[in-house]
Amino acid sequence: MKVEIDRDGIAEAVRQGIITQEQAEQLWQFWGKGQDIQLDGNGLRISKFLYYLGALIVITAMGWYVNASWDSLGGLGLFVIAAVYAVCFILAAHFMRAKSPVLSGLLIVMAVGTTPLGVYGIQKALGIWPSGYPGYYHDFYIWVKSGWFVIEFATVAAGVLSLPFARIPFAMAPVAFTLWYLSMDIVPLFFPANGHFIYHMYVSVIFGLVMMAAAFVMDSRQRVDYSKWLYIFGVLAFWGGISLLKSTSEFSRAAYCAVNVLMMFCGVLLERRVFIVFGGIGTFGYIGYLAWSVFANSFFFPFALTLVGLGIAYAGWLYHRKQAALARFLYSLLPEWVIRNLPQNRSLK
């Protein structure tokens, strides 16, 4: 069996005190001589980057860049194109399964990416639009309309069904992304046309919370980490929603900062960097706002901003050095049943 080893994993073991730095170097040199272990060096990382870049280009080509001229092919023509693409991707995935599981999984994701075009083609050919004709296929990626429900439900279903075959975390990305689209398209059904923006923000916050909760339930740190992309899109939806809501008082701005600080603590407890990144951006954004409000039009504003920047850099360095100690401190504040049910501890039961 081949095992992928990278320096980041060894460095993490050193930071957690599992091995010493000297032992880490010895292990790295020893493993480098083995024939049954694949070192995840720069070459392999570049290969994986190219895999994902190619997959994103293909998915984008089948979605965002399909312009209105494609509608001249008719619904049947669009469906045939999507079906041919999907079959080719699935066959290629089967062929690459033994050679490159990652590339094989990405090919399955590409096949899922053809679902919106195929379903749109079927609906157009049969004239079935439960909520009215929503427009050209290209508009699916631009305009919020309830007419896209069938496409979104079908894409989510295809994505979920593909998970056992793709077996890579990224396979959950189209599911999470489409669910976010679905949450936006629901708004016109339940809220008045005027003030859609504020309702979209509230729905985004609620949807983000639900998705993060679902990710937490799924997160077991075993096998394929499907919860990763649910966390990412959940945090994006939640943080984006609260960040775009208008703050009308200093209390609401301080509450926004408190939520971002709480997100960073959650990131440490859950060992999910996406919480720390966005929580940090929000927290230091608030600190920057305070610096601006206190030193606006002041000679000292550049100095205050410099201190904010240095504070951000120092916080990053401090977290890098004291991550394990910070986690232990937070653990000491939590009840035993909470610690026991954290994702990283579930597999130990």
Report pLDDT digits (tens) over 1-19: 445 556 666 666 766 667 7
More confident of the two residues 270 and 130: 270
Distance between CA atoms of 185 and 238, rounded to whole angstroms? 17
**Whole-number Cα distances in Å, 139 to 51, 126, 130, 253:** 28, 19, 17, 36
Structural domain contains residue 201: no
Structural domain contains residue 261: no
**Sign, CA torsion 87/113/51/3:** negative
Distance between CA atoms of 230 and 212, rounded to whole angstroms? 6
Domain that holds residue 15: 1-40
The mean pLDDT of the chain is 78
Residue 86: the pLDDT is 92
Distance between CA atoms of 104 and 99, rounded to whole angstroms? 8
Residue 290: the pLDDT is 79
Structural domain contains residue 3: yes
Which residues partner with 301 through β-bridges? none
- The token pair at 77 is 């023509």
CB 38 within 8 A of CB 4: yes
Structural domain contains residue 223: no
Distance between CA atoms of 261 and 29, rounded to whole angstroms? 40
Nearest Cα residue to 212 out of 229, 231, 237: 231
Residues with Cβ within 8 Å of residue 185, at least 6 apart in sequence: 144, 145, 146, 148, 149, 152
Residue 93: the pLDDT is 92
User: Residue 62 burial by CB count (10 A; 0-12/13-18/19+): exposed, middle or buried?
Assistant: buried
More confident of the two residues 265 and 15: 265
Residue 124: the pLDDT is 83
Alpha-carbon dihedral 169, 175, 180, 186, rounded to 10 degrees: -160
**Sign, CA torsion 23/28/34/38:** positive
Residue 64: the pLDDT is 59
Residue 37: the pLDDT is 41
Distance between CA atoms of 83 and 153, rounded to whole angstroms? 18
- The token pair at 293 is 């409000």
Number of domains in the chain: 1
Structural domain contains residue 338: no
Please state the φ and ψ torsions of residue 62, each to the nearest 5 degrees: -85, 0
Residue 208: the pLDDT is 92
Which residues partner with 38 through β-bridges? 4
CB atoms within 10 A of CB 281: 15
User: Percent of the chain beyond pLDDT 90?
Assistant: 18
Structural domain contains residue 17: yes
CB 268 within 8 A of CB 304: no
Structural domain contains residue 222: no
Structural domain contains residue 24: yes
Residues with Cβ within 8 Å of residue 217, at least 6 apart in sequence: none
Reported confidence tier of residue 210, pLDDT bands at 50, 70, 90? very high
Q: What is the pLDDT of residues 28-59, one digit of tens each?
A: 666 554 433 444 445 556 777 788 888 888 88
Residue 28: the pLDDT is 62
